[in-house]
A and B are shown apart, each in its own frame.
Chain A
């Protein structure tokens, strides 16, 4: 069974930069997995941040950016703000109609 891995947690200072990654238990992530990123604050529905590796969803601040770094998809927050404190999930499309969410990363801004 394919597992999509993310760091469990990250801490970033206000105004700082943090890069979250999204990997595969076996193999490398590329654009052909159409990586996308979602933000969720406790008790709220998720919000779409980035899709197709690096395309920002409508209304998303430009401090959020997506890329491929090495063999993983990556989400970078540049100039972190207090309200960026959330859980972040990536999704990879594995083909044959199947998508898998990553394990999620909790970001703390302090």
Chain B
């Protein structure tokens, strides 16, 4: 069974940093694109970033460019999202996702609050 478990959420001050981690299991992690999707309180889903199999391609939503960095460890089956210069509008549940388009599986999410 595919499992994606996010961690690293919590409270961060405006301008602060946070690193989210996604631990993947139940599938062969290396060959898959991986993504982060977020959902602000009471709002819809928003694609944030994705990364290809060997981390040679990374794409970000415009609001995250220059502030967020995506990386992965294909040996430990981990996906990371480093978030810097956090803003109030980054407050959201962040979901780790297997795939790009489509997304094949979702984690349960981790809440980041910028305040």
Size category of the A interface is 20 to 34
From residue 47 to 78 of chain A, which have CB atoms closer than 8 A to chain B? 47-48, 51-52, 57
- B9 at the binding interface (Cβ < 8 Å): no
Cα separation A91 to B50 with both chains bound (whole Å): 14
- B106 at the binding interface (Cβ < 8 Å): yes
- A82 at the binding interface (Cβ < 8 Å): no
Q: Please indicate the chain B residues that have their CB under 8 angstroms from the CB of A91 in the complex.
A: 47, 101-103
Minimum Cβ distance to chain B for residue A29 (Å): 13
Binary interface encoding of chain B residues 35-79 relative to chain A, with 1 for a CB under 8 A from any of its CBs, else 0: 101000000111100100000011101000000000000000000
- B108 at the binding interface (Cβ < 8 Å): yes
From residue 1 to 59 of chain A, which have CB atoms closer than 8 A to chain B? 34, 36, 38, 40, 45-48, 51-52, 57
Say what secondary structure dominates the interface of chain B. strand
Cα separation A87 to B44 with both chains bound (whole Å): 9
Q: Is the CB of A34 within 8 A of B101?
A: yes
Q: Please indicate the chain A residues that have their CB under 8 angstroms from the CB of B57 in the complex.
A: 97
Q: Please indicate the chain B residues that have their CB under 8 angstroms from the CB of A40 in the complex.
A: 45
Q: Is the CB of A99 within 8 A of B44?
A: no
Binary interface encoding of chain A residues 78-110 relative to chain B, with 1 for a CB under 8 A from any of its CBs, else 0: 000000000101010100111111111000000
Q: Please indicate the chain A residues that have their CB under 8 angstroms from the CB of B103 in the complex.
A: 36, 38, 46, 48, 91
Binary interface encoding of chain B residues 103-115 relative to chain A, with 1 for a CB under 8 A from any of its CBs, else 0: 1111111000000
Cα separation A57 to B59 with both chains bound (whole Å): 25
Cα separation A48 to B57 with both chains bound (whole Å): 24
Q: Is the CB of B47 within 8 A of A101?
A: yes
- B95 at the binding interface (Cβ < 8 Å): yes
Q: Is the CB of B106 within 8 A of A101?
A: no
Residues of chain A touching chain B, judged by Cβ–Cβ distance below 8 Å, are: 34, 36, 38, 40, 45-48, 51-52, 57, 87, 89, 91, 93, 96-104
Residues of chain B touching chain A, judged by Cβ–Cβ distance below 8 Å, are: 35, 37, 44-47, 50, 57-59, 61, 95, 100-109
